Amino acid sequence: MRAKNIKSKQSFLLLSLFFSGASFGQQLLETKEGDLLFNPIISTNAASTTTATGLIKTNITDQSIGGEFFYKLPHTAPLDPTKSNKFNFITGGIKAKPTEGYGAVFKNGQFSPAANFTFSLNRFKLLDANLDQATATANDNFTDWGGIYFGLNVNKYQLYRSDTTFAAQLYSKVFNGGSIGLNYNMLLYSQFLLSAKLGYSRKANFSDLDEVEVKDIKSEYDPVSLTTRTVTTTKTARIGEKYAEFDSYNLTIALTRLTQGGAGSAIKMGYSAYFDLKSSSIAVTTANVGVILFLAQAKNYISTPLIGFDFQFADVSNNKKSETGLFKRFSLGLTSTIPIR
Amino acid sequence: MKKFDLELRVKTQGYVFSWGVYLQEKQGFPVMDNTTARDPETGEYVKKFPSHSAPNDELIVIVSSEGVVGGETTCTVIIDGTKREKKVIDKLTVPGYASEKYKI
């Protein structure tokens, strides 16, 4: 049995590859945990060909592959309330991954699936209520959108515990978790995006548990050939004694400098500073702060982030009473986006 | 006030996620927005105003848009079948709206 600390993996480089399925690129930035930093913008004046757009993506930290879609609801006229729908656009996403990672898939042929579904309903102009009439536009330096989001997680976990009978030590656990919350985004001076997400989710602490490899060795002696044969099967699991399911509340606030979507193809730098507060029923409240520096390139007047570096300090106020200093709780992440066209 | 046939053609580039075209003599809601019909050949949003008139024979066209820096909304003005050289261009690098005056 070989134990590895999964937390050391979380401080490892994050590499997310987004393969854009449309030239209508989104300013997509993910946290190290694989959550979108803010609900992306979708144009409400898009032509019929860009009414809906989507992309596929992979994320190496949580080892997921998935897709996102964005759909503008019909008959949306944000400037005219008499024509406008209650909600202007919807977004959705799906992610799938092996819960023990691809290492276990390739090494042991072991696959425990996890799927994550997200959906959000969004509306433009929540506080920006002047309807952008020309007479009021001169001093209008912001616009906003926001809405409600839902999520559903379906996971199958492989767990190991030593404090029970031999036959019951290695077992599977199915966990279904849901989430619900609100998101709000304010675009200031056409360039600075202030965004906030507040939500509840039902979670399991599987990813925080130590990982073990369980090896079953069977021996058989053949008196004819005088040979002892051993057969080894290996399974990757997490220590189950501390497994828990719990309620979690989180608040994320981010300020992002979006890059210009101009005619040129120059690479430009943007940044996002974020504050992520997490509270749960089984652990103390912690706050992570970080900065994502990203490079984006304009193509067809749309800015697409190519690469991003995520600098994060975890639990800045040391509520977990860790004996390590703040800089020991620092980690670097790397995100990358590759548009197909 | 002279009567004239007015045609407005709008196209957007970049991250423009809401826009409207206003005529000064029609205060209030925009005369064009993303629900306006499009020309299937050019992709432009097109609206015609036959026998239109403007105070003092001076047409003021206002374009307002919102989105990310780098985007722009361009409105081409056609009066009595003649495309005017001056276009109304609202760039998102500049806060506020864009407007142009046209002598009839």
Do the chains contact at B66 and A132, CB–CB below 8 Å? yes
The ranges of chain A with pLDDT < 70 are 1-34, 38-63, 74-85, 129-140, 261-265, 298-305, 335-341
Q: What does DSSP assign to residue B69?
A: B
Do the chains contact at B34 and A77, CB–CB below 8 Å? yes
Q: How far is A198 from chain B (nearest CA, A)?
A: 24
Distances (CA, A) of B23 to A120, A215, B4, B28: 36, 77, 14, 9
Specify the amino acid at residue B91. Answer: K
Do the chains contact at A189 and B95, CB–CB below 8 Å? yes
Give the residue carrying structure tokens 């400098």: A257
Contact residues for A46 (Cβ-Cβ < 8 A; gap 6+): A24, A72, B34
Q: The pTM is what?
A: 0.75
In chain A, which residue's Cα lies nearest the Cα of B16?
Answer: A43
User: What is the pLDDT, as a whole number, of residue A16?
Assistant: 34
What tokens were used for A283? Answer: 């652990």
Q: How far is B53 from chain A (nearest CA, A)?
A: 20
Do the chains contact at A77 and B33, CB–CB below 8 Å? yes
Q: How far is A95 from chain B (nearest CA, A)?
A: 27
A8 pairs with which residues across the strands?
A: none
A45 close contact with B: CB closer than 8 A: yes
Contact residues for A226 (Cβ-Cβ < 8 A; gap 6+): none
In chain B, which residue's Cα lies nearest the Cα of A302?
Answer: B14
The DSSP code sequence of A112-131 is -EEEEEEEEEEEE-SS-TTT
Do the chains contact at B18 and A132, CB–CB below 8 Å? yes
3-state SS, residue A200: strand
Specify the amino acid at residue A132. Answer: D
User: What is the pLDDT, as a whole number, of residue A218?
Assistant: 93
Assembly ipTM: 0.77
In chain A, which residue's Cα lies nearest the Cα of B39?
Answer: A47
User: What is the pLDDT, as a whole number, of residue A327?
Assistant: 77
- Could you report the per-residue pLDDT of B23-73, keeping only the tens digit for each? 887 766 788 887 788 888 888 999 999 999 998 899 999 998 888 887 889
A125 pairs with which residues across the strands?
A: none
pLDDT of B3 over the 80 cut: yes
Q: How far is B8 from chain A (nearest CA, A)?
A: 17
The span from the CA of A116 to the CA of A178, in Å, is 9
Do the chains contact at B33 and A75, CB–CB below 8 Å? no
Q: Which of B11, B13, B17 to mutate to test the interface with A (most CBs of A within 10 A)?
A: B17
B102 pairs with which residues across the strands?
A: B59
- Could you report the per-residue pLDDT of A228-257, keeping only the tens digit for each? 999 998 888 999 999 999 999 999 999 988
User: What is the pLDDT, as a whole number, of residue A4?
Assistant: 40
Residues 249-268 of A with CB under 8 A from B: 258, 260-263
Q: What does DSSP assign to residue A48?
A: G
**How do the residues of chain A divide into helix, strand and coil, expressed in percent and rounded to 5?**
10, 55, 35
Q: How far is A139 from chain B (nearest CA, A)?
A: 6
User: What is the pLDDT, as a whole number, of residue A154?
Assistant: 92
User: What is the pLDDT, as a whole number, of residue A136?
Assistant: 44
A281 close contact with B: CB closer than 8 A: no
